Structure 1
Amino acid sequence: MSTLQTLDRGLRALDIVAQAPAGISVADLAKELDVHRAICYRIVATLEAHALVTRAEDGRIRLGVGAAVLASRFEPQFARDVQPLLRALANETRATAFVSVAEAADCVVIMVAEPEGTLLKVGYRVGSRHPLDQGAAGIAILAMRPEQPRDSDAVRQARADGFSLTRGQLEHGAVGIAAGIVLPANLAATAGFERSVGVVAIDGLDTDQAAVAVQRTARRLAVLVAV
């Protein structure tokens, strides 16, 4: 496959910057890209001209407002593509389906779909939040991150299984299953783009069947985002 080297370097640079929350120096970025520092300066200047990166007072390169604008334009497309799959997941598992996002130390629900014709439903609403290390949704997100010594047993188990399973953590009697949505690195490393999809029910949830359905949906969502 033929690619444009300059464009490829620019996109790789943006990816590297996105994965450095504290910023990165031009010298270190040049090393990561394996290019001369003069070339790296030109790449940074081009990205800076489009507000995709910015230079802080200490000279370190960070994501710029242009990256946030692109992110905001991604949201309507994401919602449009995800909603039909979320409804299908809810109906297949007969449980409330959701998409959650990491926001600092919290996990926040951004999309919900209820199964059709089900009377007993879990009160899971858009905007609901809980600690990231509690509940299937947050644990699934933590499991996508690089392994850390402080990881809980639940996170380690979720990383090994490919999904998280919790019982009664956020609501008495509730069973939750979630899997992380593997997004492109430049989005996943950006605040607001660590996401998971899952289901939650009070009783009667076939956890084996739900785990398969949730992981399948997570893979489909990842493909949609990557297209």
Structure 2
Amino acid sequence: MSTLQTLDRGLRALDVISQAPEGISIADLARELDVHRAICYRIVSTLEAHLLVARTEDGRVRLAVGVAVLASRFEPQFSRDVRPILHTLANETHATAFLSAAEGEEAVVMMVSEPDDSVLTVGYRVGSRHPLTLGAAGIAILATRPERPDDPEPVRQARRDGYSLTRGQLERGAVGVSAGLRLPAGLSHAVERSVGVVAIDGLDTTSAAKAVTRTARQLERLL
């Protein structure tokens, strides 16, 4: 498959710039892209014209508001596509299905779906939050991060298994199973998410783990 070289360079430039929160000089960007500085200036000027990058007072290049606008348009699209997938997971496992995201040191519930055939379900509210180190959702997110010497054993176990399984950590009798979404290369700065299910006892954790990990891979393809 052929690619457009100039477009490819522009997109690679955005990726490089996104990984430099304090900005990057034209010289360093040209070196990263392996292009002449004059070409790099033209790439940056084009991205600037579309409000995707901006230059600071000292000439360093940073992401600009245009990137945030594009991101804001992606989230509603992602949410729309996720809802039916989450509802299928809830019905398959007969448990409350949810999508969580990392916010600082906490996991925040972003979306919830209840199964159609269950009378009693766990009340997991959108906006609920808890430490990343407690509950299947947060542990699953931590397991997608690079390994650290001080990782607690539940995170290590989740990394080995491909999912996190917790019992009674957030609510007595509640059993949770979650899997983290592995982000595409170059998106380590993006929102970290996990998908999972929670029920009060009676959850077939083996089947739930398979369903949750399969759903996680499905959501990764949306990303």
The verdict on a shared fold, with TM-score over 0.5 as the criterion, is: yes
- SS state at 1:197 partner: strand
CA distance in 1, matches of 2:152, 2:45: 42
1:210 aligned partner: 208
Q: CA 1:94–1:130 in 2, change beyond 3 Å: closer, same or farther?
A: same
The answer to which of 63-72 and 53-62 deviates more is 53-62
Superposition pairs for residues 1-227 of structure 1, below 5 Å? 1-57=1-57, 59-185=59-185, 187-190=187-190, 193-225=191-223
Q: CA 1:182–1:28 in 2, change beyond 3 Å: closer, same or farther?
A: same
* Count of matched residue pairs: 223
Deviation at 1:151, TM superposition (A): 2.4
- SS state at 1:8 partner: helix
CA distance in 1, matches of 2:92, 2:176: 15
Q: CA 1:53–1:156 in 2, change beyond 3 Å: closer, same or farther?
A: farther
CA RMSD of aligned residues (A): 2.0
Q: Deviations over 1:116-164 (max 9, x none)?
A: 1212211211111112222211222222222233322222222222211
CA distance in 1, matches of 2:49, 2:142: 34
Q: CA 1:162–1:17 in 2, change beyond 3 Å: closer, same or farther?
A: farther
CA distance in 1, matches of 2:110, 2:19: 23
User: Which amino acid in 2 is paired with 1:129?
Assistant: R
Q: Deviations over 1:158-178 (max 9, x none)?
A: 222221122222212211111
**Which ranges in structure 1 are unaligned for 5 or more consecutive residues?**
none
CA distance in 2, matches of 1:130, 1:38: 50
CA distance in 1, matches of 2:148, 2:96: 31
- SS state at 2:24 partner: coil
The answer (yes or no) to whether the contact 1:182–1:188 under 8 Å persists in 2 is no
CA distance in 1, matches of 2:152, 2:44: 39
Deviation at 1:188, TM superposition (A): 4.9
CA distance in 2, matches of 1:132, 1:62: 30
- SS state at 2:202 partner: coil
- SS state at 1:134 partner: coil
User: Which amino acid in 2 is paired with 1:198?
Assistant: G
CA distance in 2, matches of 1:194, 1:26: 30
Structure with max Cα Rg:
2
Identity of matched residues, %: 73
TM-score (norm 2): 0.90
CA distance in 1, matches of 2:108, 2:175: 18
Deviation at 1:62, TM superposition (A): 2.9
Q: CA 1:151–1:20 in 2, change beyond 3 Å: closer, same or farther?
A: farther
